[in-house]
């Protein structure tokens, strides 16, 4: 999916960064293997090569650092919790979501639209009767928990996935870049109707401040 938040953009950039490293290593190993297969030269008298061992220890270490630094940066970005913005509380149930929006005092349940009630152009297993409406370009702190078993609140285009654990609050920040309708699902196997509790967020422009 196209990224809709800065975090998801960073995740995709890190994916590309890691892929360049992996492809480079793969190509190097293939070339080295082909040379070893077709090379008829050998040295039965060589017992050690300290210089070679030093090189093949230092280079992988540098490659791991090249991979670790952007990974650590991304981890710290995921953990950031701005003090301003909105709060959205989502409570998971078997098998629907309940939402609370303290900024306007709303609280409602969100159920999947049955197949027989779908209209043309609606997505199967992804539409809900009550979607969450949020302003875009505003920090939103999403707090999630569960009323029964383990669930997971996941919005792929937002780079958002967090466990909903009974008796515990988990939170992540979300900053939506563009208006639109964004779909997600529970990504923890939570029972017989696990695939029937989608998440829908509508990002709109709201005048004024929050």
**Local confidence band at 209 (pLDDT 50, 70, 90 cut-offs):** low
Q: What are the tens digits of pLDDT across the range 105-151?
A: 889 999 999 988 888 888 999 999 999 999 888 899 999 999 999 99
Instruction: Identify the pLDDT of residue 207.
Output: 62
Q: Would you give the distance in Å from CA 12 to the centre of its chain?
A: 10
Looking at residues 57-75, what average pLDDT do you find?
A: 92
Q: What are the tens digits of pLDDT across the range 169-206?
A: 999 999 999 999 999 999 999 889 898 999 999 998 87
Residue (of 115, 132, 133, 137) closest to 124 by Cα position: 115
**Local confidence band at 62 (pLDDT 50, 70, 90 cut-offs):** very high
Distances (CA, A) of 25 to 32, 66, 108, 124: 10, 13, 51, 41
Q: Give all domains of the chain, ordered by start, each with its CATH number.
A: 6-79 (1.10.287.90), 86-204 (2.60.40.420)
This prediction's pTM = 0.79
Looking at residues 86-113, what average pLDDT do you find?
A: 90
Q: Would you give the distance in Å from CA 111 to the centre of its chain?
A: 23
Q: How many residues does the chain have?
A: 210
The string over 59-88, giving b where at least 16 C-beta atoms fall within 10 Å of a residue's C-beta and e elsewhere, is: eeeeeeeeeeeeeeebeeeeeeeeeebbeb
d(CA 175, CA 78): 11
Residue 90 has pLDDT above 60, yes or no: yes
Instruction: Identify the pLDDT of residue 80.
Output: 84
d(CA 203, CA 210): 15
DSSP string, 52-121: HHHHHHHHHHHHHHHHHHHHHHHHHHHT---SSSEEEEEEEETTEEEEEETTTTEEEEE-BPPGGGPPTT
- Please, which residues have CB within 8 angstroms of residue 170's CB and are 6 or more apart in sequence? 143, 144, 145, 162, 163, 164
């Amino acid at each position: 999916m196209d990224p809709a938040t800065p975090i998801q953009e960073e995740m995709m950039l890190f994916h590309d960064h890691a892929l360049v490293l992996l492809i480079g290593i793969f190509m190097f190993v293939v070339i080295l293997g082909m040379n070893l297969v077709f090379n008829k030269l050998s040295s039965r008298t060589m017992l050690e090569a300290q210089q070679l061992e030093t090189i093949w220890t230092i280079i992988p270490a540098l490659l791991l650092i090249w991979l670790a630094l952007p990974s650590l940066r991304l981890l710290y970005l995921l953990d950031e919790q701005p003090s301003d913005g909105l709060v959205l509380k989502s409570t998971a149930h078997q098998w629907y979501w309940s939402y609370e929006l303290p900024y306007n005092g709303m609280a409602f349940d969100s159920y999947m639209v049955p197949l027989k009630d779908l209209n043309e152009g609606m997505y199967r297993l992804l539409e809900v009767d009550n979607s969450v409406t949020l302003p875009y370009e505003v920090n939103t702190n999403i707090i999630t928990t569960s009323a029964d078993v383990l669930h997971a609140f996941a919005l792929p285009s937002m780079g958002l996935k967090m466990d909903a654990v009974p008796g515990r609050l988990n939170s992540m920040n979300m900053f939506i870049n563009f208006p639109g309708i964004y779909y997600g699902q529970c990504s923890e196997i939570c029972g017989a109707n696990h695939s029937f509790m989608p998440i829908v967020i509508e990002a709109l422009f709201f005048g004024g401040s929050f």
